[in-house]
Chain A
Amino acid sequence: DIQMTQSPSSLSASVGDRVTITCRASQAITNYVAWFQQRPGKAPKSLIFAASSLLDGVPSRFSGSGSGTDFTLTISSLQPDDVATYYCQQYNTYPGTFGQGTKVEIK
C-alpha cells in the first residue's frame, strides 16, 4: 500500500494567516491526490482533486499543488470557518490511503 504522511498533525494560526499542510507519498504517484475538510461532528467535505483542482463552491483561498511524492494544501487567508481537520488522500491505486490528518485551530 502507498502510505501518505501528513504534517503537521496540528497547527494554530491567526485569522488572515497563510496556512500550509503537506502530504508525502511513500512512492511517486500521479497527481491523483485529493484534500478533504472535516469540521467537528460533520462528514468530510471534498475540497481539491487531482492535486490542484478546486471542486465547485470551494472558496478560492484554498489551493493545492504538488507532484511526484510531495503535495501541499494552502489556505491563503485563514478564516474562522476553516477550523477543521484536513486530510489528504491518494486515489491513484487501491486502497485509497489517507493521511493522518491536520487539525487547524485559530490562535
Chain B
Amino acid sequence: EVQLVQSGAEVQKPGESLNISCRGSGYSFTNYWIGWVRQQPGKGLEWVGVIYPGDSDIRYSPSFQGQVTISADKSTSTAYLQWSSLKASDTGMYYCARRDGYKGQDYWGQGTLVTVSS
C-alpha cells in the first residue's frame, strides 16, 4: 500500500529555520516525483515544487523559488521542505504528494501544519 507520512505540526517564530518531512513507503521511492503543495488558511491549493529522488532533479514554482528548498534522502525514502528564515506568510498546511508522470498527483500525505507567529 502506497503511503506518504508527514512530520507533525510546527509552531515557529519569524526568522527561524524549519525542516518538514514526508516519508514514502509501499512503492519505489526513487522512481516517482514527490511534490509539495501549500494551503494557506481558508485558501486554495498552491503548487510549491517537485523533486525526483532518483537524480535529485528539482522544479520550483516561480512563486516559491528562493523562498524554500526541496530535497530528498533516498536512503530513508524521505522528502524535505526547508525554510532558512520563516515569515508569517509561510503559515499554512503543507501537503506532499506522489506525482506519477501520467496520473499526476495520485497519493497525498496527511499534511503538516506550519504556524509562524511571534
* Contact of A43 with B105 at beta-carbon distance under 8 Å, contacts A95-B61, A100-B44 already known: no
- Residue from A36, A96, A101 whose CB has the most chain B CB atoms within 10 Å: A96
Residues A91 and B99 in contact, CB atoms below 8 Å apart: yes
Size of A's binding interface in residues, CB under 8 A: 24
Closest CB of chain A to B54's CB: distance in Å?
17
Nearest neighbor of A85 in chain B, beta-carbon distance? B44
- Do A96 and B47 have beta carbons less than 8 Å apart? yes
CB contacts under 8 Å to A, within B61-118, are 61-63, 95, 97, 99-100, 102-111
Q: Which of B60, B99, B105 gathers most chain A CB within 10 Å? A: B105
Query: How far, in angstroms, from A87 to B37 measured CA to CA in the complex?
Result: 13
CA distance A99 to B50 in the complex (A): 18
Given contacts A46-B105, A97-B47, A100-B44, 6 further A-B contacts (CB under 8 A): A34-B105, A36-B105, A53-B103, A91-B105, A94-B50, A95-B61
Question: Could you list which residues of chain A lie within 8 angstroms of chain B, going by C-beta atoms?
Answer: 1, 32, 34, 36, 38, 43-46, 49-50, 53, 55, 87, 89, 91, 94-101
